[in-house]
Amino acid sequence: MTPAWNVRTATVVLLLTALPLVPVYTRLAHDPFLLTLFTRIVIMALAAVSLNLILGYGGMMSFGHAAYLGIGGYAVGMLAHEGIYSGLVQWPLALAASALFALVIGALSLRTRGVYFIMITLAFAQMAYYVVAGIARYGGDDGLTIYKRSQFFSPLDLSNKIQFYYLCLVLLYGVTYLVWRLVNSRFGMVVRGARSNEIRMRALGFPTYRYKLVCFVIAGTLCGLAGALLANHNDFISPATMYWTRSGDLIVMVVLGGMASPLGPWFGALVLLVLEEALSSITEYWQIILGPLLLLIVLFARGGIDGLLRTIGGKRA
Amino acid sequence: MSEPLLRVENLSKRFGGIVAADGLRLAIASGELHAVIGPNGAGKTTLLAQLSGQLRPDSGRIYFDGRDITALPMHRRSALGVARSFQITSLFLDLSVLDNVALAVQARCGHSFRFWRNARAEPELREPACAALERVGLAARRNDLASALSHGEHRQLELAMALAGNPRMLLLDEPMAGLGPEESARMVEMLRALKAELTILLVEHDMEAVFALADRITVMVYGRVIASGNPADIRANQDVRDAYLGEQEVAHG
pLDDT tens-digit profile of B64-121? 999 999 999 887 888 888 988 877 778 999 999 999 999 999 988 888 999 999 999 9
pLDDT digits (tens, 9 = 90+) for B157-206: 999 998 987 889 999 998 888 888 988 998 999 999 888 889 999 999 88
Query: Model pTM?
Result: 0.88
For chain B, what are the domain ranges? Answer: 1-81+167-253, 91-165
Q: Are A235 and A145 in contact (CB under 8 A)?
A: yes
Provide the strand spans (E) within chain A.
144-145, 236-237
- Integer CA distances (angstroms), A115 to A106, A109, A118, A201, A216, in order: 15, 11, 5, 21, 17
Given an 8 Å threshold on Cβ–Cβ distance, is B107 in contact with A204?
Answer: yes
In this prediction, residue B245 carries a pLDDT of 66
Residue B112 to residue A187, Cβ atoms within 8 A: yes
Q: Please, are residues A32 and A158 in contact by the beta-carbon 8 Å criterion?
A: no
pLDDT for A260 equals 92
Residue B243 has pLDDT above 80, yes or no: no
d(CA A217, CA A289): 36
* Chain A environment of B114 (Cβ under 8 Å): 185-187
User: What φ, ψ does residue A26 adopt, rounded to 5°?
Assistant: -65, -30
Interface residue of B45, B96, B103 to substitute, partner A, most A CBs within 10 Å: B103
Domain positions in chain A: 32-313
* Between B152 and A247, the higher pLDDT residue: A247
* Better-scored residue on pLDDT, B62 or B89: B62
- The reported pLDDT for the residue numbered A314 is 62
Contact (CB<8Å) B115/A204:
no
Distance from CA of A17 to the nearest CA of B (A): 26
**For residue A86, what pLDDT is reported?**
96
State how far residue A108 is from chain B, nearest Cα, in angstroms.
21
| Residue B120: closest C-alpha in chain A | A184
Residue A294 has what pLDDT?
83
Which of A197, A200, A206 is facing B112, going by the closest CB pair?
Answer: A206
Compute and round to an integer the Cα radius of gyration of chain A: 19
pLDDT at B127: 95
CA distance A231 to chain B (A): 30
| pLDDT of the residue at B251 | 44
Three-state SS string across A167-222, please?
Answer: HHHHHHHHHHHHHHHHHHCHHHHHHHHHHHHHHHHHHHCCCHHHHHHHHHHHHHHH
Chain A residues at the B interface, defined by Cβ less than 8 Å, are: 181-182, 184-190, 192-193, 196-197, 199-201, 203-206, 211, 214
Confidence of residue B252 (pLDDT cuts 50, 70, 90): very low
Residues of B in contact with A198 (CB under 8 A): none
Indicate if the pLDDT at residue B248 is higher than 70: no
Q: Got the DSSP string for B119-138?
A: GGG-HHHHHHHHHHHHHHT-
- One digit per residue, pLDDT tens: chain A, 317 residues? 444 568 889 999 999 999 999 999 999 999 999 999 999 999 999 999 999 999 999 999 999 999 999 999 999 999 999 999 999 999 999 999 999 999 999 999 999 988 999 999 999 999 999 999 999 999 999 999 999 999 998 889 999 999 999 999 999 999 999 999 999 999 999 999 999 999 889 888 888 999 999 999 999 999 999 999 999 999 999 999 999 999 999 999 999 999 999 999 999 999 999 999 999 888 888 888 888 888 888 788 788 899 888 888 665 44
What ipTM was assigned to the predicted interfaces of this complex?
Answer: 0.87
Cβ-based contacts of B163 with chain A (< 8 Å): none
Q: Which residues of B touch A203 (CB under 8 A)?
A: 54, 74, 84, 86, 90
Q: Which fold has domain B1-81+167-253?
A: Rossmann fold (3.40.50)
Query: At B1, is the pLDDT very low, low, confident or very high (cuts 50, 70, 90)?
Result: low
Query: So what's the architecture of A32-313 in CATH?
Result: Orthogonal Bundle (1.10)
Question: Which of A182, A184, A196 lies nearest to residue B93, judging by beta carbons?
Answer: A196
Residue B253 above 80 pLDDT? no
The neighbouring-strand residues paired with A10 are: none
